[in-house]
Structure 1
Amino acid sequence: MAPPSRKGPTQREVARLAGVSQAAVSQVLNGGEGGIRIPDATRQRVLQAMQDVGYVPNVAARRLAGGRNRILGVFTYEPVFPTSTRDFFTPFLEGIEEAAAELDYDLLLHTRPAPQGGRRAVYHDGASRLRLADGTVMLGLLDDDRRGDLAQLIGSGHPTVFIGRRDLPGQELPYVTADYTAATAGACEALLDRGHERTLYLGTLTRHESAVDRELGYRRAMGRTPAAGQVERVDVVTPDVVSRALRAGVTGVLCENERLTAQWIAAADTLGVGWPQDYGFAVLGDPIYQSDLPAGWAHVTIPRLEMGRHAVRLLANLLSGHPAESRTLPCQWVPGTSLGGRPRTE
């Protein structure tokens, strides 16, 4: 028969060893949030007693009691946590980890799987494990159901910051995002500067916020000659899509992601049309579906590491009672031979 397990040391034992009350131990654990000042000598004596008896605070119990435990949650609606350091989401998580360590926070990675046949959700049976943390950094796409759950979480007072701009009617949702509008406008200008007078914005059917921002940047760049630009949103790029654009005189293409880019190139190849001699293109972001972009592809890079870092800093500010000021960070433009065309001469 296995010997009965011994319960871990208690606050009472710590208090007895340190020669203080349990209330004093609790104040040390909670960082003096109750407004009672604990002398430094007493605090050091309590900390030493904790170490001597091997006391480990029950952070979940402290959180439920309304205390802070210096733990930040990380939650994503999709199972996107990387299996490779070259995964699209790795820099976000690296930035989150770096900033949390600098600010003396631990991280709680929420990985509870979705119910069979369902999707990940903030609430399960009316409760949320996210509240075990002081606050949460969130990633992922939102639909109406998810927006409702998220609005409920924020309405309950749980500090939350999103990586990526997310619209949440009726609630203020602080975020850190990339300046997709300016980045797309810059990429479009690069095509125009190479002599591509007629351009195409090629996007997916999913109208998430970053896609809306990209399209806005394209329309701004083409504002002076709106008739020379067009927008096409598709699930799959077929030869018919390419043929229709070429007949309209399009020679420059802005692709929302690398999957659409590869489909465009393959469809154009079936028509005997290739880059950079027949058309130029640029990709409006880092690779999502593969680890690297092929050589020569002009593209925009997203400041993913800094977005993760700033999201943690913003959340820490919220926890300290400071105003929630969302951040928009600049992207970087990487030119390439895929632009084709010839530089304009003044």
Structure 2
Amino acid sequence: MTRPRIPRQSDIARLAGVSQATVSMVLNDRAAENRIPESTQQRIREAMTELGYAPNIAAQSLRGGRSGLIGVHTFERVFPTAPDDYYREFLNGIEEQAVDSGLDLVLFASTQKPDGTRSIYGSGSNRMRLADGAIILGFEKNDDEIHRLSDEGFPFVFIGRREVEGLDIPFVTADYAAAMEPVVRTLVDAGHRTVTYLAAPLRALAQQERLEGFEAAIAVAEHDVTYRVEVRPEADVTADWVRAMRRSGSTAIVVETFDLARALASALADANLVAPRDLSVISLDDDPRGGGAFSHVRVPRRAMGRRAVELLLSVIEGVDAPTFAAPVHCEPPTGETVGAPAPAALAPSA
């Protein structure tokens, strides 16, 4: 069976009655600078449609033209397979904004190594150059490769704040600092004056921003509030620990991550305690399974994905300086696990 011949630019030129150079200028968005009339551009587009022509995006990229592709890269395996995956909403937002912007997405999965990590330069060259730029997300990063990307002038944006020595990296993040003020105000208005902040051992920049924002909001609260920071892995959040917090005088717990919130929910159940009757709780992250057991701050993951595409397009166009950071607003805490302080006491026996 003979395969049909793929139409070429010369075929478009012949059908539209123009030179191949004119076709090339239209395909590479150089029609305006070369004063090609709109009527001629329209004939070329109609010829493309009639012939079923699709531009060779790889060749366009190699020539320095725009491919209309943006890449998504991670240094670890994060592309979701389940609806409750943490990264799913980021990717949903990226996809939505790409559709609105008339762009196609490339997920760079072939960069994965046998140990599950991913390398931009694993094959010796930057495979992401097939795209006009890339959004990078996930917890892991490779500083050497980020430096190399920057040296090449390849446009990229991180989701989540990233710090690499010697570089100013454009990134999108939730406005965690601003989100902590309504958290503290909610607790203070309910009458809480002694609060435990339950922090994750892994101190990523997002976690540090939450804690710093919480401490700043405490410092300017209308009433004096005493707080203690407890850094604990999930396995150490137990019924005995919750009882000890209550005996120490804490009437509320601010829990930093949804993983710790899950552990705290189990610990409260084991201690036969109920929020907010016995202890008020606010989580600083919503559980991707569906909000979680406690009042919580909703991290705007989908909005962050959309904003990352917008920021990347600005970087590609040179509109924003490379130091540009895009904080995304977090909604105030919602839920029903904050109430008036309960007397600190030994947990009732089961």
TM-score range, shorter chain: 0.7 to 0.9
Q: What's the counterpart of residue 55 of structure 1?
A: 53
Query: What is the TM-score normalised by the length of structure 1?
Result: 0.86
After superposition, where does 1:86-125 map in structure 2 within 5 Å?
A: 87-112=85-110, 114-125=112-123
- When residues 65 and 118 of structure 1 are mapped into structure 2, their CA distance, relative to the original with a 3 A threshold, is same
Q: Distance in 2 between matches of 1:271 and 1:52?
A: 71
Q: What's the counterpart of residue 9 of structure 2?
A: 11
- When residues 45 and 322 of structure 1 are mapped into structure 2, their CA distance, relative to the original with a 3 A threshold, is same
Within the alignment, does 1:309 sit opposite 2:306 as a pair? yes
Q: Which residue of the other structure, out of 156, 178, 181, is the alignment partner of 1:182?
A: 178
Q: Distance in 1 between matches of 2:229 and 2:110?
A: 39
- Deviation of 1:164 (Å): 1.9
Q: What's the counterpart of residue 149 of structure 1?
A: 145
After superposition, where does 1:1-346 map in structure 2 within 5 Å?
A: 3=1, 5-32=3-30, 35-85=33-83, 87-112=85-110, 114-143=112-141, 146-223=142-219, 228-236=226-234, 237-239=236-238, 241-288=241-288, 290-294=289-293, 297-324=294-321, 325-342=324-341
Q: Gaps (5+ residues) in structure 2? A: 343-350
Task: Find the residue that maps to 1:338 and give its secondary structure.
Answer: coil
Q: Distance in 2 between matches of 1:35 and 1:262?
A: 58
Superposed CA deviations along residues 292-342 of structure 1, whole A, max 9, x for unmatched, are 423xx2110122232222222222222222124322122112333311325
Task: Find the residue that maps to 1:339 and give its secondary structure.
Answer: coil
- Deviation of 1:55 (Å): 2.0
Q: Distance in 2 between matches of 1:327 and 1:33?
A: 33
Task: Find the residue that maps to 1:253 and give its secondary structure.
Answer: strand
Query: What is the TM-score normalised by the length of structure 2?
Result: 0.85
Q: Gaps (5+ residues) in structure 1? A: none
Q: Distance in 2 between matches of 1:246 and 1:177?
A: 34
Cα RMSD, aligned residues only: 2.6
Instruction: Name the aligned partner's letter for residue 230 of structure 1.
Output: R
Q: How many residues align?
A: 336
Q: Distance in 2 between matches of 1:116 and 1:330?
A: 38
Instruction: Name the aligned partner's letter for residue 72 of structure 1.
Output: I
- Deviation of 1:104 (Å): 2.3
- When residues 262 and 208 of structure 1 are mapped into structure 2, their CA distance, relative to the original with a 3 A threshold, is same
Task: Find the residue that maps to 1:337 and give its secondary structure.
Answer: coil
Q: Distance in 2 between matches of 1:10 and 1:60?
A: 15
